[in-house]
C-alpha cells in the first residue's frame, strides 16, 4: 500500500531550484534513505512533505489525497511525524514533559488528557532508550540524548510515517550504532520511515531503498547496495576515496605463479 506519493515536486528560492521535479513513492513498511551532497534539496523535500514549505509545482499525496500546501499541524494529525536537524526542546520542561507535548498536540484522533499523554511519553522514552532519564531537565541531556528526545517527541504523536532529518549527525561510532538500534525498534513497531542520512552504515544497515538527490533532482533510486555502487553517485557524492575503499584487495598469486 502506497502511503506517500511525491509527484514532480519543485521548490524555488529566488532563482535557485532547490527541488526540480522530484518524484518517488513510499509504501507502508518502507525504510527509505535520502542521501546526497549538502545543498541537494534533502531537507527542503522533508519541509515540503511536512507542510513547512508549499511546493511551487507538482503534488504530494497521502493515501491518494493531496496534502500539498496543507498546514503542518493538519499534516501531523494525518499521521506524519518528523524530527529536525537542529534540536530545540522546551528548556523549562523535563524529558518526560517534552515528549508528552507530541501526544498532547499532534495525535491523529484528537488530544489525550495530560495523564494519558504522560503515560504515552513513558512508553516511547523506553523505546528510544531514555526511560531512566525521563525526569531529567532537558538541559542535562547530552547531544545524542537530545536527538533521542526529538525522536521520542515525534513518536508520541503515533505517526504512521516518520521523517528523520540527520539524527546521526555529530555522533561517534558507538552512538551511531545505538541510534541505529533505536531506529530498528521503531521500524519493528510498524512505523514507515523516511530518513536523511550521511552515514552510509545506516543507509546500508536499515534502508530497503535509497534515493539520491543532486542539485534538487533525482540522481538514482534503488536498493542501497546497488545505489552506492553507481558511478554517478560516487562522482557526485561519495567521492573517489569511497570508490577505492569498495574495491576488493588485489589477489595474491602463489609463489612462482604467473612467471
Q: How far apart are CA 177 and CA 191, in angstroms?
A: 20
| pLDDT in single tens digits along all 259 residues of the chain | 899 999 999 999 998 999 999 999 999 999 999 999 999 999 999 999 999 999 999 999 999 899 998 999 999 989 999 999 888 899 999 999 999 988 887 666 666 788 988 999 999 999 999 999 999 999 999 988 999 999 999 999 999 999 999 998 888 899 899 999 999 999 999 999 999 998 888 999 999 999 999 999 999 999 999 999 998 898 878 776 555 565 555 565 555 544 3
- 207: cell is 534502508
Apex CA 104: angle with CA 98 and CA 110, to 5°? 160
Q: What is the CA radius of gyration of the chain?
A: 20
Q: Write down the pLDDT at residue 187.
A: 94
Q: Write down the pLDDT at residue 237.
A: 81
Q: Write down the pLDDT at residue 215.
A: 93
Prediction pTM value: 0.88
* Sheet with 192-196, edge to edge strand ranges: 80-82, 161-165, 192-196, 31-35, 209-214, 217-222
Q: How would you write 10-42 as a 3-class SS string?
A: EEEECCEEEEEEEEEEEECCCEEEEECCCCCCH
Please give the distance of CA 173 from its chain centroid, rounded to a whole number: 18
Contact 172, 14 (CB under 8 A): no
Third-level CATH fold of 1-71+160-166+193-245: Rossmann fold (3.40.50)
Q: Write down the pLDDT at residue 259.
A: 38
Amino acid at each position: 500500500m502506497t502511503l506517500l506519493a511525491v509527484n514532480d515536486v519543485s521548490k524555488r528560492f529566488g532563482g535557485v531550484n532547490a527541488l526540480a521535479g522530484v518524484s518517488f513513492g513510499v509504501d507502508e513498511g518502507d525504510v527509505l534513505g535520502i542521501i546526497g551532497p549538502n545543498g541537494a534539496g534533502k531537507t527542503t523535500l522533508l519541509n515540503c512533505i511536512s507542510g513547512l514549505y508549499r511546493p511551487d509545482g507538482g503534488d504530494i499525496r497521502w493515501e491518494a489525497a493531496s496534502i500539498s500546501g496543507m498546514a503542518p499541524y493538519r499534516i501531523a494529525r494525518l499521521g506524519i511525524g518528523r524530527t529536525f536537524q537542529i534540536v530545540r526542546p522546551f528548556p523549562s520542561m523535563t524529558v518526560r514533559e517534552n515528549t508528552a507535548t507530541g501526544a498532547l498536540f499532534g495525535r491523529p484522533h484528537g488530544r489525550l488528557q495530560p495523564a494519558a499523554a504522560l503515560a504515552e511519553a513513558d512508553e516511547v522514552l523506553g523505546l528510544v532508550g531514555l526511560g531512566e532519564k525521563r525526569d531529567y531537565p532537558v538541559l542535562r541531556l547530552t547531544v545524542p540524548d537530545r536527538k533521542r528526545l526529538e525522536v521520542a517527541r515525534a513518536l508520541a504523536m503515533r505517526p504512521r510515517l516518520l521523517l528523520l532529518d540527520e539524527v546521526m549527525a555529530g555522533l561517534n561510532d558507538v552512538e551511531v550504532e545505538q541510534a541505529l538500534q533505536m531506529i530498528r525498534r521503531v521500524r519493528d513497531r510498524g512505523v514507515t520511515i523516511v530518513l536523511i542520512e550521511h552515514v552510509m552504515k545506516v543507509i546500508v544497515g536499515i534502508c530497503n531503498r535509497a534515493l539520491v538527490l543532486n542539485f534538487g533532482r533525482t540522481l538514482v533510486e534503488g536498493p542501497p547496495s546497488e545505489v552506492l555502487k553507481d558511478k554517478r553517485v560516487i562522482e557526485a557524492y561519495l567521492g573517489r576515496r569511497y570508490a577505492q575503499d569498495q574495491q576488493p584487495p588485489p589477489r595474491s598469486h602463489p609463489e612462482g605463479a604467473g612467471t
